[in-house]
Amino acid sequence: MRGPHNIWRLVRTGATFERSGAMKLLLDAYDAPPLLRLAARVIGWPFQFLGLKGDPSQPPLPGALTALGPAYIKFGQILSTRPDVVGPDLAQQLRVLQDKLPPFSRDEAIQAVETELGHPASALFSEFSEPIAAASIAQVHKARLAETGQEVAVKILRPGIEKAFRKDVDAFYFAAWMIETLAPFSRRLRPSDVIEHFDGVVRAELDLRLEAAAASEYAANTEGDAGFKLPAVDWFHSGRRVMTMSWVEGIPLGDTDAMDAIGINRAELGERVLSLFLNHALRDGYFHGDMHHGNLKVAADGTLLAYDFGIMGHIDEYTRRVYAEILYGFIKRDYHRVARVHFEAGYVPADRDVDEFARALRAVGEPIFGMDATRISMGRLLSYLFEVTERFGMETRTELILLQRTMVVVEGVARSLNPSINIWDTAKPIVQEYIEKSIGPRAMLTDLGRTVKVLGRYGPRLPDLVDEVLTRQLQGPPKPQRPSLWSRLGWGAGGLALGAVLVLVGSGLS
Protein backbone atom coordinates (compact mmCIF):
# COMPACT_ATOMS: atom_id res chain seq x y z
CA MET A 1 0.00 0.00 0.00
CA ARG A 2 1.56 3.28 -1.12
CA GLY A 3 0.43 5.37 1.83
CA PRO A 4 1.57 7.42 4.82
CA HIS A 5 2.92 4.33 6.58
CA ASN A 6 5.90 4.72 4.25
CA ILE A 7 6.84 7.97 6.04
CA TRP A 8 8.95 6.01 8.53
CA ARG A 9 10.98 4.48 5.70
CA LEU A 10 11.47 7.95 4.21
CA VAL A 11 12.57 9.29 7.60
CA ARG A 12 15.24 6.59 7.84
CA THR A 13 16.31 7.24 4.26
CA GLY A 14 16.41 11.02 4.80
CA ALA A 15 18.34 10.60 8.04
CA THR A 16 20.92 8.41 6.30
CA PHE A 17 21.28 10.89 3.42
CA GLU A 18 21.62 13.77 5.92
CA ARG A 19 24.20 11.94 8.01
CA SER A 20 26.33 10.99 5.01
CA GLY A 21 26.16 14.41 3.34
CA ALA A 22 24.29 13.05 0.32
CA MET A 23 21.19 15.17 1.04
CA LYS A 24 22.91 18.51 0.44
CA LEU A 25 24.63 17.09 -2.63
CA LEU A 26 21.29 16.13 -4.18
CA LEU A 27 19.56 19.40 -3.29
CA ASP A 28 22.43 21.47 -4.70
CA ALA A 29 22.61 19.36 -7.86
CA TYR A 30 18.95 20.07 -8.62
CA ASP A 31 19.01 23.68 -7.34
CA ALA A 32 16.05 22.67 -5.17
CA PRO A 33 13.56 25.39 -4.14
CA PRO A 34 13.24 26.48 -0.48
CA LEU A 35 10.10 24.38 0.17
CA LEU A 36 11.77 21.14 -0.91
CA ARG A 37 14.92 21.99 1.07
CA LEU A 38 12.78 22.64 4.13
CA ALA A 39 10.95 19.34 3.70
CA ALA A 40 14.26 17.51 3.36
CA ARG A 41 15.60 19.15 6.52
CA VAL A 42 12.42 18.32 8.45
CA ILE A 43 12.63 14.68 7.39
CA GLY A 44 16.39 14.28 7.76
CA TRP A 45 18.04 16.69 10.19
CA PRO A 46 16.18 15.97 13.50
CA PHE A 47 16.55 12.24 12.95
CA GLN A 48 20.21 12.06 11.94
CA PHE A 49 20.86 9.73 14.85
CA LEU A 50 18.53 7.20 13.15
CA GLY A 51 20.54 7.31 9.92
CA LEU A 52 22.99 4.64 8.90
CA LYS A 53 26.64 5.66 8.86
CA GLY A 54 27.64 4.18 5.52
CA ASP A 55 31.10 3.63 4.12
CA PRO A 56 33.19 6.82 4.55
CA SER A 57 35.60 5.66 1.83
CA GLN A 58 32.85 6.02 -0.80
CA PRO A 59 31.40 9.28 -2.16
CA PRO A 60 28.40 10.46 -0.06
CA LEU A 61 25.57 9.28 -2.34
CA PRO A 62 26.93 5.78 -3.15
CA GLY A 63 27.89 5.41 0.53
CA ALA A 64 24.35 6.20 1.69
CA LEU A 65 22.73 3.89 -0.85
CA THR A 66 25.10 1.05 0.06
CA ALA A 67 24.22 1.45 3.75
CA LEU A 68 20.48 1.39 3.04
CA GLY A 69 20.62 -2.04 1.40
CA PRO A 70 20.04 -4.03 -1.80
CA ALA A 71 17.05 -2.13 -3.21
CA TYR A 72 18.83 1.20 -2.81
CA ILE A 73 22.05 -0.16 -4.33
CA LYS A 74 20.14 -1.47 -7.33
CA PHE A 75 18.27 1.83 -7.64
CA GLY A 76 21.60 3.67 -7.67
CA GLN A 77 22.98 1.34 -10.32
CA ILE A 78 19.99 1.96 -12.58
CA LEU A 79 20.16 5.72 -12.01
CA SER A 80 23.80 5.59 -13.10
CA THR A 81 22.44 4.72 -16.56
CA ARG A 82 20.18 7.80 -16.53
CA PRO A 83 22.35 10.95 -16.65
CA ASP A 84 19.28 12.68 -18.06
CA VAL A 85 17.66 12.27 -14.63
CA VAL A 86 20.50 12.66 -12.11
CA GLY A 87 22.96 14.67 -14.19
CA PRO A 88 26.36 13.52 -15.53
CA ASP A 89 28.29 14.18 -12.31
CA LEU A 90 26.02 12.14 -10.04
CA ALA A 91 25.71 9.43 -12.69
CA GLN A 92 29.50 9.14 -12.69
CA GLN A 93 29.55 8.87 -8.88
CA LEU A 94 26.88 6.18 -8.89
CA ARG A 95 28.94 4.03 -11.25
CA VAL A 96 31.43 3.38 -8.45
CA LEU A 97 28.82 1.49 -6.43
CA GLN A 98 30.35 -1.81 -5.42
CA ASP A 99 27.72 -4.45 -6.04
CA LYS A 100 29.16 -6.58 -3.24
CA LEU A 101 27.31 -7.55 -0.09
CA PRO A 102 27.84 -10.14 2.64
CA PRO A 103 26.82 -13.53 1.22
CA PHE A 104 24.15 -15.74 2.70
CA SER A 105 25.19 -19.19 3.86
CA ARG A 106 25.84 -22.22 1.71
CA ASP A 107 23.13 -24.13 3.65
CA GLU A 108 20.54 -21.48 2.73
CA ALA A 109 21.67 -21.66 -0.90
CA ILE A 110 21.30 -25.44 -0.97
CA GLN A 111 17.84 -25.18 0.59
CA ALA A 112 16.83 -22.63 -2.07
CA VAL A 113 18.07 -24.97 -4.83
CA GLU A 114 16.12 -27.92 -3.44
CA THR A 115 12.94 -25.88 -3.01
CA GLU A 116 13.12 -24.41 -6.50
CA LEU A 117 14.23 -27.48 -8.46
CA GLY A 118 12.32 -30.08 -6.43
CA HIS A 119 15.23 -32.52 -5.96
CA PRO A 120 17.86 -33.05 -3.25
CA ALA A 121 20.94 -30.97 -4.00
CA SER A 122 23.10 -34.08 -3.70
CA ALA A 123 21.15 -35.67 -6.55
CA LEU A 124 21.76 -32.62 -8.75
CA PHE A 125 25.32 -31.60 -7.83
CA SER A 126 28.26 -33.73 -6.75
CA GLU A 127 30.09 -30.58 -5.62
CA PHE A 128 28.71 -27.25 -4.41
CA SER A 129 31.10 -24.50 -3.28
CA GLU A 130 30.82 -21.68 -0.79
CA PRO A 131 29.67 -18.38 -2.38
CA ILE A 132 32.24 -17.00 -4.83
CA ALA A 133 30.42 -13.71 -5.58
CA ALA A 134 27.60 -11.90 -3.76
CA ALA A 135 25.61 -9.05 -5.29
CA SER A 136 22.56 -7.03 -4.30
CA ILE A 137 20.00 -9.49 -5.63
CA ALA A 138 21.75 -12.85 -5.91
CA GLN A 139 25.00 -14.73 -5.34
CA VAL A 140 26.95 -17.31 -7.34
CA HIS A 141 28.34 -20.74 -6.41
CA LYS A 142 30.61 -23.03 -8.39
CA ALA A 143 29.24 -26.56 -8.66
CA ARG A 144 29.60 -29.82 -10.54
CA LEU A 145 26.66 -31.68 -12.10
CA ALA A 146 26.16 -35.10 -10.55
CA GLU A 147 25.02 -36.67 -13.84
CA THR A 148 27.73 -35.45 -16.22
CA GLY A 149 30.51 -34.06 -14.04
CA GLN A 150 30.33 -30.72 -15.88
CA GLU A 151 31.42 -27.64 -13.94
CA VAL A 152 28.69 -25.00 -13.72
CA ALA A 153 27.93 -21.64 -12.12
CA VAL A 154 24.75 -21.54 -10.02
CA LYS A 155 23.14 -18.16 -9.42
CA ILE A 156 20.64 -17.99 -6.53
CA LEU A 157 18.38 -15.15 -5.40
CA ARG A 158 18.81 -13.91 -1.85
CA PRO A 159 16.24 -15.33 0.60
CA GLY A 160 13.33 -12.95 1.09
CA ILE A 161 14.68 -10.51 -1.50
CA GLU A 162 11.30 -10.21 -3.27
CA LYS A 163 9.50 -9.05 -0.11
CA ALA A 164 12.31 -6.68 0.85
CA PHE A 165 12.32 -5.08 -2.59
CA ARG A 166 8.54 -4.78 -2.60
CA LYS A 167 8.59 -2.79 0.64
CA ASP A 168 11.34 -0.45 -0.51
CA VAL A 169 9.86 0.10 -3.97
CA ASP A 170 6.55 0.92 -2.29
CA ALA A 171 8.35 3.64 -0.32
CA PHE A 172 10.04 4.88 -3.51
CA TYR A 173 6.63 5.42 -5.15
CA PHE A 174 5.46 7.38 -2.10
CA ALA A 175 8.64 9.47 -2.16
CA ALA A 176 8.14 10.24 -5.86
CA TRP A 177 4.59 11.40 -5.14
CA MET A 178 5.81 13.67 -2.34
CA ILE A 179 8.56 15.16 -4.53
CA GLU A 180 6.11 15.90 -7.36
CA THR A 181 3.69 17.45 -4.86
CA LEU A 182 6.20 19.62 -3.00
CA ALA A 183 8.39 20.50 -6.01
CA PRO A 184 6.31 20.85 -9.20
CA PHE A 185 9.46 21.76 -11.15
CA SER A 186 10.60 18.15 -10.69
CA ARG A 187 7.74 16.80 -12.79
CA ARG A 188 9.73 17.38 -15.98
CA LEU A 189 12.09 14.67 -14.68
CA ARG A 190 9.10 12.34 -14.21
CA PRO A 191 10.06 10.86 -10.80
CA SER A 192 7.09 8.46 -10.82
CA ASP A 193 8.06 7.21 -14.29
CA VAL A 194 11.64 6.68 -13.10
CA ILE A 195 10.39 4.55 -10.20
CA GLU A 196 8.09 2.64 -12.53
CA HIS A 197 11.05 1.92 -14.82
CA PHE A 198 13.09 0.77 -11.81
CA ASP A 199 10.19 -1.40 -10.64
CA GLY A 200 10.00 -3.10 -14.04
CA VAL A 201 13.76 -3.75 -14.17
CA VAL A 202 13.79 -5.22 -10.67
CA ARG A 203 10.75 -7.42 -11.32
CA ALA A 204 12.57 -8.86 -14.33
CA GLU A 205 15.79 -9.45 -12.37
CA LEU A 206 13.86 -11.21 -9.60
CA ASP A 207 12.84 -13.89 -12.09
CA LEU A 208 16.03 -15.62 -13.19
CA ARG A 209 14.14 -17.40 -15.97
CA LEU A 210 14.02 -14.03 -17.75
CA GLU A 211 17.77 -13.52 -17.38
CA ALA A 212 18.30 -17.05 -18.69
CA ALA A 213 16.09 -16.22 -21.69
CA ALA A 214 18.08 -13.02 -22.30
CA ALA A 215 21.34 -14.99 -22.20
CA SER A 216 19.91 -17.57 -24.59
CA GLU A 217 18.72 -14.93 -27.08
CA TYR A 218 22.02 -13.06 -26.86
CA ALA A 219 23.92 -16.31 -27.48
CA ALA A 220 21.78 -17.13 -30.52
CA ASN A 221 22.37 -13.66 -31.99
CA THR A 222 26.14 -13.79 -31.48
CA GLU A 223 26.78 -17.44 -32.33
CA GLY A 224 28.72 -16.52 -35.46
CA ASP A 225 30.84 -13.78 -33.88
CA ALA A 226 34.48 -14.86 -33.97
CA GLY A 227 36.37 -14.56 -30.71
CA PHE A 228 33.23 -14.14 -28.57
CA LYS A 229 31.58 -16.67 -26.28
CA LEU A 230 28.85 -16.82 -23.64
CA PRO A 231 28.25 -19.47 -20.99
CA ALA A 232 25.42 -21.82 -22.00
CA VAL A 233 22.17 -21.91 -20.01
CA ASP A 234 21.33 -25.23 -18.32
CA TRP A 235 17.54 -25.04 -18.43
CA PHE A 236 16.99 -28.30 -16.54
CA HIS A 237 18.79 -26.92 -13.48
CA SER A 238 17.23 -23.46 -13.69
CA GLY A 239 14.01 -21.89 -12.39
CA ARG A 240 12.58 -18.62 -11.14
CA ARG A 241 15.03 -18.31 -8.21
CA VAL A 242 17.93 -20.43 -9.53
CA MET A 243 19.88 -20.15 -12.79
CA THR A 244 22.58 -22.59 -13.84
CA MET A 245 25.09 -21.89 -16.63
CA SER A 246 28.21 -23.59 -17.89
CA TRP A 247 31.42 -22.61 -16.12
CA VAL A 248 33.94 -20.71 -18.28
CA GLU A 249 37.42 -19.79 -17.08
CA GLY A 250 39.03 -16.51 -18.00
CA ILE A 251 41.17 -13.58 -16.92
CA PRO A 252 39.28 -10.42 -15.84
CA LEU A 253 39.73 -7.67 -18.42
CA GLY A 254 41.05 -5.38 -15.71
CA ASP A 255 44.07 -7.65 -15.07
CA THR A 256 46.38 -6.43 -17.82
CA ASP A 257 49.47 -8.00 -16.23
CA ALA A 258 47.95 -11.48 -16.38
CA MET A 259 46.97 -10.93 -20.02
CA ASP A 260 50.47 -9.79 -20.92
CA ALA A 261 51.93 -12.83 -19.14
CA ILE A 262 50.14 -15.27 -21.46
CA GLY A 263 50.63 -13.16 -24.60
CA ILE A 264 47.12 -11.77 -25.16
CA ASN A 265 47.10 -9.07 -27.87
CA ARG A 266 45.45 -6.30 -25.87
CA ALA A 267 45.28 -3.84 -28.78
CA GLU A 268 43.34 -6.33 -30.90
CA LEU A 269 41.16 -7.28 -27.93
CA GLY A 270 40.26 -3.62 -27.30
CA GLU A 271 39.14 -3.16 -30.90
CA ARG A 272 37.14 -6.40 -30.70
CA VAL A 273 35.29 -5.24 -27.56
CA LEU A 274 34.22 -2.04 -29.31
CA SER A 275 33.34 -3.59 -32.66
CA LEU A 276 31.33 -6.41 -31.05
CA PHE A 277 29.27 -3.92 -29.05
CA LEU A 278 28.52 -1.81 -32.16
CA ASN A 279 27.59 -4.91 -34.15
CA HIS A 280 25.25 -6.12 -31.42
CA ALA A 281 23.59 -2.70 -31.13
CA LEU A 282 23.23 -2.07 -34.90
CA ARG A 283 23.03 -5.53 -36.44
CA ASP A 284 20.94 -7.25 -33.75
CA GLY A 285 19.34 -4.36 -31.87
CA TYR A 286 20.06 -6.34 -28.67
CA PHE A 287 23.15 -5.53 -26.66
CA HIS A 288 24.72 -6.15 -23.27
CA GLY A 289 23.81 -3.08 -21.21
CA ASP A 290 26.51 -3.51 -18.55
CA MET A 291 29.77 -4.31 -20.36
CA HIS A 292 32.20 -3.22 -17.66
CA HIS A 293 35.43 -5.00 -16.67
CA GLY A 294 33.69 -7.13 -14.05
CA ASN A 295 31.36 -8.71 -16.62
CA LEU A 296 34.03 -9.44 -19.22
CA LYS A 297 36.90 -11.92 -19.20
CA VAL A 298 39.33 -13.30 -21.76
CA ALA A 299 40.11 -16.99 -22.19
CA ALA A 300 43.65 -18.30 -22.62
CA ASP A 301 43.10 -18.56 -26.39
CA GLY A 302 42.04 -14.88 -26.59
CA THR A 303 38.28 -15.49 -26.75
CA LEU A 304 36.23 -12.70 -25.13
CA LEU A 305 33.78 -14.01 -22.49
CA ALA A 306 30.68 -12.10 -21.26
CA TYR A 307 28.66 -12.64 -18.08
CA ASP A 308 25.66 -11.23 -16.19
CA PHE A 309 22.69 -10.57 -18.46
CA GLY A 310 20.44 -8.74 -16.01
CA ILE A 311 20.62 -5.46 -17.99
CA MET A 312 20.14 -5.83 -21.73
CA GLY A 313 19.41 -3.04 -24.20
CA HIS A 314 16.95 -3.26 -27.09
CA ILE A 315 16.66 -0.93 -30.07
CA ASP A 316 13.98 -1.41 -32.73
CA GLU A 317 15.01 -1.58 -36.37
CA TYR A 318 13.79 1.90 -37.30
CA THR A 319 15.69 3.51 -34.42
CA ARG A 320 18.80 1.57 -35.40
CA ARG A 321 18.65 3.01 -38.89
CA VAL A 322 18.22 6.53 -37.54
CA TYR A 323 21.08 6.03 -35.06
CA ALA A 324 23.37 4.64 -37.80
CA GLU A 325 22.61 7.56 -40.12
CA ILE A 326 23.33 10.03 -37.32
CA LEU A 327 26.65 8.36 -36.52
CA TYR A 328 27.61 8.13 -40.18
CA GLY A 329 26.70 11.78 -40.74
CA PHE A 330 29.04 12.76 -37.92
CA ILE A 331 31.78 10.49 -39.25
CA LYS A 332 31.45 12.21 -42.66
CA ARG A 333 31.03 15.60 -40.88
CA ASP A 334 27.80 16.18 -42.84
CA TYR A 335 25.87 18.10 -40.20
CA HIS A 336 22.96 19.00 -42.47
CA ARG A 337 22.39 15.31 -43.07
CA VAL A 338 22.40 14.65 -39.33
CA ALA A 339 19.93 17.50 -38.82
CA ARG A 340 17.61 16.24 -41.57
CA VAL A 341 17.62 12.74 -40.06
CA HIS A 342 16.49 14.15 -36.72
CA PHE A 343 13.62 16.03 -38.37
CA GLU A 344 12.59 13.13 -40.61
CA ALA A 345 12.49 10.80 -37.61
CA GLY A 346 10.33 13.27 -35.69
CA TYR A 347 12.94 13.57 -32.93
CA VAL A 348 12.95 17.36 -33.25
CA PRO A 349 9.66 19.31 -33.68
CA ALA A 350 8.96 20.33 -37.26
CA ASP A 351 8.57 24.01 -36.32
CA ARG A 352 12.28 24.32 -35.46
CA ASP A 353 14.82 25.66 -37.96
CA VAL A 354 16.83 22.92 -39.73
CA ASP A 355 19.78 25.18 -40.58
CA GLU A 356 20.02 26.47 -37.00
CA PHE A 357 19.94 22.91 -35.72
CA ALA A 358 22.69 21.92 -38.19
CA ARG A 359 24.89 24.74 -36.89
CA ALA A 360 24.30 23.56 -33.31
CA LEU A 361 25.35 20.05 -34.39
CA ARG A 362 28.51 21.43 -35.96
CA ALA A 363 29.36 22.97 -32.59
CA VAL A 364 29.03 19.44 -31.16
CA GLY A 365 31.08 17.61 -33.77
CA GLU A 366 33.95 19.89 -34.74
CA PRO A 367 35.62 20.15 -31.30
CA ILE A 368 35.60 16.37 -31.01
CA PHE A 369 37.08 15.82 -34.46
CA GLY A 370 39.76 18.36 -33.63
CA MET A 371 41.01 16.13 -30.81
CA ASP A 372 43.86 13.68 -30.94
CA ALA A 373 42.70 10.21 -31.98
CA THR A 374 43.31 8.84 -28.50
CA ARG A 375 40.85 11.36 -27.00
CA ILE A 376 38.00 11.01 -29.50
CA SER A 377 34.93 9.59 -27.75
CA MET A 378 31.69 8.43 -29.35
CA GLY A 379 30.09 8.37 -25.91
CA ARG A 380 31.01 12.03 -25.38
CA LEU A 381 29.61 12.86 -28.80
CA LEU A 382 26.28 11.23 -27.92
CA SER A 383 26.21 13.02 -24.57
CA TYR A 384 26.73 16.42 -26.24
CA LEU A 385 24.21 15.49 -28.93
CA PHE A 386 21.50 14.78 -26.35
CA GLU A 387 22.16 18.14 -24.69
CA VAL A 388 21.67 19.95 -28.01
CA THR A 389 18.59 17.98 -29.04
CA GLU A 390 17.01 18.63 -25.64
CA ARG A 391 17.40 22.37 -26.24
CA PHE A 392 15.60 21.93 -29.56
CA GLY A 393 12.65 20.12 -27.95
CA MET A 394 13.62 16.44 -28.37
CA GLU A 395 12.04 14.24 -25.69
CA THR A 396 14.24 11.87 -23.71
CA ARG A 397 14.52 8.40 -25.27
CA THR A 398 15.40 5.85 -22.61
CA GLU A 399 16.80 3.25 -25.01
CA LEU A 400 19.30 5.78 -26.42
CA ILE A 401 20.33 6.88 -22.93
CA LEU A 402 21.24 3.26 -22.08
CA LEU A 403 23.07 2.98 -25.40
CA GLN A 404 25.05 6.15 -24.70
CA ARG A 405 25.91 5.07 -21.17
CA THR A 406 27.04 1.62 -22.36
CA MET A 407 29.06 3.24 -25.15
CA VAL A 408 30.98 5.25 -22.54
CA VAL A 409 31.67 2.09 -20.49
CA VAL A 410 32.75 0.10 -23.56
CA GLU A 411 35.08 2.88 -24.66
CA GLY A 412 36.62 2.87 -21.19
CA VAL A 413 37.21 -0.88 -21.39
CA ALA A 414 38.66 -0.60 -24.91
CA ARG A 415 41.05 2.21 -23.90
CA SER A 416 42.22 0.30 -20.82
CA LEU A 417 43.30 -2.47 -23.20
CA ASN A 418 44.64 -0.18 -25.93
CA PRO A 419 45.17 3.47 -24.87
CA SER A 420 45.90 4.57 -28.45
CA ILE A 421 42.73 3.09 -29.99
CA ASN A 422 41.01 5.32 -32.56
CA ILE A 423 37.30 4.97 -31.82
CA TRP A 424 36.15 6.37 -35.16
CA ASP A 425 38.49 4.21 -37.26
CA THR A 426 37.08 1.14 -35.50
CA ALA A 427 33.45 2.27 -35.79
CA LYS A 428 33.44 3.56 -39.37
CA PRO A 429 33.44 0.24 -41.30
CA ILE A 430 30.79 -1.26 -38.99
CA VAL A 431 28.44 1.71 -39.34
CA GLN A 432 29.09 1.94 -43.10
CA GLU A 433 28.37 -1.77 -43.63
CA TYR A 434 25.15 -1.53 -41.64
CA ILE A 435 23.97 1.46 -43.67
CA GLU A 436 24.73 -0.29 -46.96
CA LYS A 437 22.64 -3.28 -45.86
CA SER A 438 19.76 -1.48 -44.15
CA ILE A 439 19.39 1.73 -46.19
CA GLY A 440 19.18 1.50 -49.94
CA PRO A 441 17.52 -0.55 -52.74
CA ARG A 442 18.12 -3.93 -51.10
CA ALA A 443 16.69 -2.70 -47.80
CA MET A 444 13.66 -1.24 -49.60
CA LEU A 445 12.93 -4.59 -51.23
CA THR A 446 13.24 -6.32 -47.85
CA ASP A 447 10.84 -3.82 -46.25
CA LEU A 448 8.39 -4.21 -49.13
CA GLY A 449 8.47 -7.99 -48.73
CA ARG A 450 7.70 -7.71 -45.03
CA THR A 451 4.83 -5.32 -45.76
CA VAL A 452 3.33 -7.75 -48.26
CA LYS A 453 3.57 -10.57 -45.69
CA VAL A 454 1.74 -8.47 -43.09
CA LEU A 455 -0.98 -7.53 -45.59
CA GLY A 456 -1.32 -11.18 -46.57
CA ARG A 457 -1.70 -12.21 -42.94
CA TYR A 458 -4.36 -9.60 -42.13
CA GLY A 459 -5.91 -9.37 -45.60
CA PRO A 460 -9.02 -11.47 -44.78
CA ARG A 461 -9.77 -9.18 -41.81
CA LEU A 462 -9.23 -5.84 -43.56
CA PRO A 463 -12.84 -5.45 -44.90
CA ASP A 464 -14.30 -6.04 -41.42
CA LEU A 465 -11.81 -3.65 -39.82
CA VAL A 466 -12.59 -0.88 -42.35
CA ASP A 467 -16.33 -1.45 -41.91
CA GLU A 468 -15.98 -1.25 -38.11
CA VAL A 469 -14.00 2.02 -38.26
CA LEU A 470 -16.44 3.65 -40.69
CA THR A 471 -19.46 2.55 -38.64
CA ARG A 472 -17.93 4.02 -35.49
CA GLN A 473 -17.24 7.32 -37.28
CA LEU A 474 -20.80 7.59 -38.63
CA GLN A 475 -22.36 6.82 -35.25
CA GLY A 476 -20.34 9.54 -33.51
CA PRO A 477 -18.77 9.42 -30.05
CA PRO A 478 -20.59 7.47 -27.30
CA LYS A 479 -22.76 9.47 -24.89
CA PRO A 480 -21.15 10.16 -21.51
CA GLN A 481 -22.61 8.14 -18.65
CA ARG A 482 -23.27 9.57 -15.20
CA PRO A 483 -21.05 7.87 -12.58
CA SER A 484 -22.84 5.46 -10.28
CA LEU A 485 -23.47 6.26 -6.61
CA TRP A 486 -20.78 3.78 -5.51
CA SER A 487 -18.29 5.23 -7.96
CA ARG A 488 -18.91 8.76 -6.64
CA LEU A 489 -18.59 7.56 -3.05
CA GLY A 490 -15.29 5.86 -3.96
CA TRP A 491 -13.88 9.03 -5.49
CA GLY A 492 -15.06 11.00 -2.47
CA ALA A 493 -13.30 8.63 -0.07
CA GLY A 494 -10.15 8.82 -2.20
CA GLY A 495 -10.27 12.62 -2.06
CA LEU A 496 -10.64 12.59 1.72
CA ALA A 497 -7.68 10.21 2.04
CA LEU A 498 -5.53 12.39 -0.20
CA GLY A 499 -6.55 15.46 1.79
CA ALA A 500 -5.56 13.71 5.01
CA VAL A 501 -2.11 12.90 3.61
CA LEU A 502 -1.60 16.51 2.51
CA VAL A 503 -2.63 17.77 5.96
CA LEU A 504 -0.22 15.28 7.57
CA VAL A 505 2.64 16.36 5.31
CA GLY A 506 1.75 20.01 5.78
CA SER A 507 1.71 19.73 9.55
CA GLY A 508 5.13 18.09 9.41
CA LEU A 509 6.51 21.05 7.45
CA SER A 510 5.09 23.77 9.67
Q: Which DSSP helix (H) or strand (E) runs through 464?
A: helix 462-475
- Dist. CA 161–CA 269, nearest whole Å: 38
In degrees, rounded to 5, the angle at the alpha carbon of residue 316 between the alpha carbons of residues 422 and 408 is 30
- Dist. CA 136–CA 156, nearest whole Å: 11
Terminal CA-CA length for the chain: 26
**Catalytic residue annotation:** 290
Strand partners, 233: 245
Is the pLDDT at 10 greater than 70, yes or no?
Answer: yes
How many CA atoms within 13 Å lie on the side-chain side of 67?
Answer: 25
Q: Which are the contacts of 444, defined by CB distance < 8 A and separation ≥ 6?
A: none
Report residue 247 CA to chain centroid gap: 26
| Helical packing angle, 60-68 and 70-79, nearest 10° | 140
Model pTM score: 0.72
Instruction: Note the CATH number of domain 105-157+207-248.
Output: 3.30.200.20
pLDDT at 478: 61
What are the pLDDT digits (tens) for 122-174?
999 999 999 998 888 899 999 999 999 999 999 999 998 888 888 888 888 88
Poorest-pLDDT segment among 40-49, 424-433, 438-447:
438-447
Poorest-pLDDT segment among 244-248, 250-254, 265-269, 420-424:
420-424
**Which is higher by pLDDT, 369 or 348?**
348
Strand partners, 138: 157
**Residue 89: which pLDDT band, with cuts at 50, 70 and 90?**
confident
Is the pLDDT at 284 greater than 90, yes or no?
Answer: yes
**Residue 180: which pLDDT band, with cuts at 50, 70 and 90?**
confident
**Residue 468: which pLDDT band, with cuts at 50, 70 and 90?**
confident
**Residue 23: which pLDDT band, with cuts at 50, 70 and 90?**
confident
Q: What is the mean pLDDT of the chain?
A: 80
Is the pLDDT at 500 greater than 70, yes or no?
Answer: no
Is the pLDDT at 64 greater than 50, yes or no?
Answer: yes
Answer for the pair 80, 289: CB distance below 8 angstroms, yes or no. no
For the chain, give every domain's residue range.
4-98+162-205, 105-157+207-248, 250-459
Report residue 33 CA to chain centroid gap: 29
**Residue 479: which pLDDT band, with cuts at 50, 70 and 90?**
low
Report residue 128 CA to chain centroid gap: 32
Is the pLDDT at 494 greater than 50, yes or no?
Answer: no
**Exposed / middle / buried, residue 128 (Cβ in 10 Å: 0-12, 13-18, 19+):** middle
What are the pLDDT digits (tens) for 210-244?
999 999 999 999 999 999 999 999 999 999 999 99
Q: Which DSSP helix (H) or strand (E) runs through 142?
A: strand 138-145
**Which is higher by pLDDT, 479 or 294?**
294
Identify the CA nearest to 238 among candidates 210, 219, 277, 269: 210
% of the chain residues with pLDDT over 90? 30
pLDDT at 234: 97
Is the pLDDT at 486 greater than 50, yes or no?
Answer: no
**Residue 446: which pLDDT band, with cuts at 50, 70 and 90?**
low
